[in-house]
Amino acid sequence: MTEIDTPQKAESTATTSDFEVASLKNPDYMRKFDRVIDDLQDVYSHKIRPLEKAYNYEHFSSSAPLGNDDIAAKPMVLLIGQYSTGKTTFINSLLKKSYPSSHIGVEPTTDRFVAVMDNPTDRIIPGNAAAVSSALPFKGLDKFGQAFLSRFQVSQTPSPVLQNFTIVDTPGILSGDKQRDRGYDYTSVIEWFAERADLVLLLFDSHKLDISNELKAAIHALKGHEEKVRVVLNKSDMVNQQQLMRVYGALMWSLGKVVHTPEVMRVYLVSIWLERPPNAFDDCRTLLDSEKKDLLMDLQQLPINAAIRKVNEIVKRARLARVHALIMAHLRDQMPSFYGKAAALKQLSDNLPREFQAVSKKFRLPMGDFPDVEKFKEALIGMKFEQFGALNEKLLMASDEALGTDLPELLQRLPHHSSFTGTTARPELDSEDEDFDDLNNNSNDPKSPLKRSLSRAGTRPSRYAPVKAERDVAAIVYNIVLFTLALFFATVVGGGIAMKMGWVDGMGPLIEFLQPQIAQL
- Other beta carbons within 10 angstroms of residue 441's beta carbon come to 8
211: number of CA atoms within 13 Å, CB side?
19
| 499 C-beta neighbours (distance < 10 Å), count | 17
Question: 300-321 pLDDT, tens per residue?
Answer: 888 777 778 888 889 989 999 9
| CA distance linking residue 293 with residue 17, whole number of Å | 12
> Which H, E and C letters describe 338-384, residue by residue?
CCCHHHHHHHHHHCHHHHHHHHHHHHCCCHHHCCCHHHHHHHHCCCC
pLDDT at 505 over 80: no
Q: Residue 319: what pLDDT?
A: 92
**How confident is the model at residue 356, as a pLDDT?**
92
Tell me how crowded residue 406 is: count the other CB atoms within 10 A of its CB.
Answer: 23
The C-alpha atoms of residue 59 and residue 12 are separated, in whole angstroms, by 48
| Digit-coded pLDDT (tens) for 61-76 | 767 778 777 888 888 9
Q: CA 390 to CA 370: how far, in whole Å?
A: 20
Cα separation, 270 vs 295, in Å, equals 9
Put residue 176 in one of left, alpha, beta given phi > 0 → left and psi -120 to 50 → alpha. Answer: left
Q: What is the pLDDT of residues 475-495, one digit of tens each?
A: 666 677 777 877 777 776 766
Better-predicted residue by pLDDT, 232 or 342: 232
Between 497 and 43, residue with greater pLDDT: 43
| Residues 10/411, Cβ–Cβ less than 8 Å | no
* 131-154 residue pLDDT tens: 988 888 898 888 888 999 999 999
Q: Looking at 196-210, 279-293, 432-446, which range is the least confident one?
A: 432-446
pLDDT value of residue 154: 95
Q: Which residues contact 518 (CB under 8 A, 6 or more apart)?
A: 492, 495, 496, 499
- Write phi, then psi, for 461 (nearest 5 degrees): -65, 145
Q: pLDDT above 70 covers what percent of the chain?
A: 72
**For position 278, what pLDDT does the model report?**
83
pLDDT of residue 502: 60
Q: CA nearest 402: which of 317, 470, 339?
A: 317
269: pLDDT strictly greater than 70: yes
pLDDT at res. 433: 37
Instruction: For residue 50, give Cα distances in angstroms to 398, 423, 519.
Output: 9, 42, 53
pTM (2 d.p.): 0.68
What pLDDT score was predicted for residue 129?
A: 93
Give the model's confidence band at 166: pLDDT under 50 very low, under 70 low, under 90 confident, else very high.
very high
Mean pLDDT of the chain: 76
Cα dist from 510 to 42, 279, 490, whole Å: 60, 107, 14
Please state, in angstroms and rounded to a whole number, the distance separating the CA atoms of residues 101 and 153: 10
Cβ pair 279, 295 in contact under 8 A: no
Give the pLDDT confidence score for residue 13 in this predicted structure. 38
pLDDT higher than 50, residue 397: yes
pLDDT at residue 376 in the model: 86
Residue 401's pLDDT is 92
Cα-flanking dihedrals φ and ψ of residue 132, to 5°? -110, 0
Query: How large is the average pLDDT for residues 414-440?
Result: 40
Q: Could you give the count of Cα atoms lying within 13 Å of 478 in the half-sphere of its Cβ?
A: 9
Q: How far apart, in whole angstroms, are the C-alpha atoms of residue 426 and residue 58?
A: 42
Least confident of 191-200, 345-354, 508-517: 508-517
Is residue 44 very low, low, confident or very high in pLDDT (cuts 50, 70, 90)? very high
Q: Is 6 exposed, middle or buried (0-12, 13-18, 19+ CB in 10 A)?
A: exposed
The mean-pLDDT minimum among 21-25, 56-60, 232-236 falls in 21-25
In the chain, count of helices (H) and strands (E)? 21, 8
Element (H, E) at 128: helix 127-132
pLDDT, tens digit, for every residue of 104-137? Answer: 655 555 578 999 999 999 999 999 999 988 888 8
Q: Does residue 514 carry a pLDDT above 80?
A: no
pLDDT band (50, 70, 90) for residue 425: very low
